[in-house]
Amino acid sequence: MATLTITELLAQLNWRYATKAFDPEEKIHETTMEALEDSLVLSPSSFGLQPWKFIIVEDQAVKEQLLPLTWNQPQTRDCSHFVVMAYNDSFELSEVDRYLNATVEARGGDVSDHDALKGMMVGFIQRSIDGATIDDWCKNQVYIALGQLMASAAVLGIDACPMEGINPPEIDKVLGLETSGFKTLVACALGYRDESDKYADLPKIRYPKDEIIEHR
Ligand SMILES: Cc1cc2nc3c(=O)[nH]c(=O)nc-3n(C[C@H](O)[C@H](O)[C@H](O)COP(=O)(O)O)c2cc1C
């Protein structure tokens, strides 16, 4: 069921831009913020394993503390909500059982119904742990959530700035993540653009569609 027309969707995706200046006075309404949190929870991930944690910073004092840890980008201080997106840096095979137990809880049946899937998941995770690619895999999943968050925000008319210009280890210290099993990867500032932001009206810089999309 389409709830947006094609025109509306593309209008919102064109309206969206990496906001450089937020209006510090405008705060996202609680209900809207809850929807954006749901959008994070609903993000898809490989095998559905959700190797992530999202810390939403609304406290102005904490945002000020994070400012120098984000290359002094004013978005951190002036946004309404600053979302720190962390990956599971100690991903273990036990996550497979956790997922399968959650599957049975949500859909019924028995864990043993999923033995074939379990074998595949365990094989993949074990190979990734052995090959030291597990962290990369976890990080990739977090970026999917970032994409979903940005698109959801755009559809709801909320401005966002994805931010890799950050100092993850120092942010981990401020947020007390060091012993949590999660590490900061990327962030996303959310709020409302300030009318002074000249980036809002700049033309998009995108390579030609026929160069980046091929049809077979
Ligand atoms: C993963 C990621 C990290 C980014 N990090 C920053 C950042 O730290 N600061 C910033 O101002 N913009 C950042 N950007 C914004 C990009 O520069 C911007 O999305 C790109 O130039 C395209 O412009 P548009 O999003 O305004 O269409 C980041 C974008 C992505 C996707």
Confidence at residue 161, expressed as pLDDT on a 0 to 100 scale: 99
Ligand 1: residues with CB < 6 A are: 17-18, 20, 73, 161-165, 186, 204
For residue 27, give the H/E element and its range. none
> Over the stretch 91-142, which tens digit does the pLDDT of each residue have?
999 999 999 999 999 999 999 999 999 999 999 999 999 999 999 999 999 9
Tokens representing residue 188 in the block: 């996303």
User: Would the pLDDT of 1 be above 80?
Assistant: no
User: Would the pLDDT of 197 be above 90?
Assistant: yes
- Going 35 to 41 to 43 to 44, the CA torsion angle's sign is negative
* Adjacent-strand bridge partners of 83: 56, 188
Amino acid found at 156 = L
Tokens representing residue 149 in the block: 């968050």
Nearest CA to ligand 1 atom 19: 18
Cα-only R_g, the chain: 19
Round to whole Å and give the CA distance between 84 and 179: 16
Confidence at residue 3, expressed as pLDDT on a 0 to 100 scale: 85
154-185 burial by CB neighbour count: b if 16+ within 10 A, else e? bbeebbbbbbeebebeebbeebebeeeebbbb
Domains delineated in the chain: 15-91+139-195 (3.40.109.10)
User: Would the pLDDT of 2 be above 90?
Assistant: no
Of 82, 163, 212, the one to substitute when testing ligand 1's pocket (max ligand atoms within 8 A of C-beta) is: 163
Q: Give SS3 for 77.
A: helix
Reported confidence tier of residue 70, pLDDT bands at 50, 70, 90: very high
Beta carbons of 153 and 52 less than 8 angstroms apart: no
Nearest CA to ligand 1 atom 6: 163
Confidence at residue 167, expressed as pLDDT on a 0 to 100 scale: 98
